[in-house]
Amino acid sequence: VADRSTLEDARAKLAQVDWVATLRGGQTFCWQPIDRGWSGWIGGRPVSIHLDRDKDSARFQGCDLPGWLNYLHLEMDWESIHRSIREDPHVAEAVRAFPGLRLVRDPWWECLVNFLCSPLKPIPQIEILHHRLRSAYGLPTPSGRHQFPSPGVLASLQEDDLRILKLGYRAKFIHQTARCIANGTWQWEDLPKDDLEAAVTHLRKLPGVGDKIARCVLLYTGSYLGAFPIDVWTERVLTDFYWKRKRKPKLGELEAIVRHEFGPLAGIAQIYLFHWYRTTYAHSTPD
DNA sequence: ATTCAGGAAGTAG
DNA sequence: CTACTTCCTGAA
């Protein structure tokens, strides 16, 4: 009886998720829309969502319900998270606009490569690169899909084997980073667990990983909910709403705003601000 | 229809 | 401050 109520609780939480905003909003890049649902990966397993008109009868296949909850941080109480971050009026508006947006928890290696692909690329392009890496170099599953290629596999390739996937200058960084990991020079396990800035420093030892990509990986692997990546969009949000002076703020000044305005859930606030500002202002000419 | 400049979840030198 | 790859968009 207790099992049944937790099961219904899990389904209720999943029913609130805004799938487009969460799965295609620039956190994760492995999800593809299928007929009335989604096809993607959780913890290296191929999974799928089959939605129906009736939200209660949605099916979640490929891993158990706790796995789904864990992927979307649904074991946390999002009502109280919203209450907490809504103290900021701009975050409040973003949460009102996209109440079903959730944070994902992707595998660290896949997440790292996704963001090594990301510089100067729009989200749909990153998704294409992600799936090219899978189909070119990932082990096939029985169902005909492809795993994300491991560090060892990518390290064993030539840089040109990555170039042919149209990764451009990103190919070198991905190849060099894969080699650092495959030969044990760099270990995810050495990541400091309770010190965000030290964790950023550790990730930045990898070629091609700067401050922005480091914080993306820390946030979208679920490792540090306080990580707030500053990219062109969050730079615009912060400058637009929190910077009162005329001149353009320096990066350090934007970081100070983040420290001052957002607390330990800064990363959660960031996903709402980012998604809301980007969907509102993308392709509209700044006045 | 075709070309071309400008810009896109940045980092390294 | 600039180069770096590729792709897409809009103006001519």
How much is the average pLDDT of A188-197? Answer: 96
Structure-token pair, residue A201: 């420093």
Distance, angstroms, CA A80 to C1' C8? 41
Grouping H, G, I as helix, E, B as strand and the rest as coil, residue A44 is coil
Q: pTM of the full predicted structure?
A: 0.95
Grouping H, G, I as helix, E, B as strand and the rest as coil, residue A53 is coil
Nearest Cα to Cα of residue A70 among A102, A37, A99: A102
Residue A125, pLDDT > 60, answer yes
Distance, angstroms, CA A211 to C1' C1? 19
C chain positions with any atom within 7 Å of a protein CB: 4-8, 10
**Nearest residue to B8 (CA, C1')?**
A120
Q: Are the C-beta atoms of residues A281 and A236 closer than 8 Å to each other?
A: yes
Give pLDDT, residue A57: 79
Q: What is the pLDDT of residues A70-114, one digit of tens each?
A: 999 999 999 999 999 999 999 999 999 999 999 999 999 999 999
Rounded Cα–Cα distance for residues A147 and A131 (Å): 10
Lowest mean pLDDT among A6-10, A148-152, A182-186: A6-10
Q: What is the DSSP string of A181-233?
A: HHTTSS-GGGS-SS-HHHHHHHHTTSTT--HHHHHHHHHHTTS-TT-----HH
Nearest Cα to Cα of residue A70 among A80, A60, A79: A60
Strand partners, A169: none
Distance, angstroms, CA A32 to C1' B3? 34
Q: Which helix (H) or strand (E) holds A57?
A: none
Nearest nucleotide (CA of A129 to C1'): C6
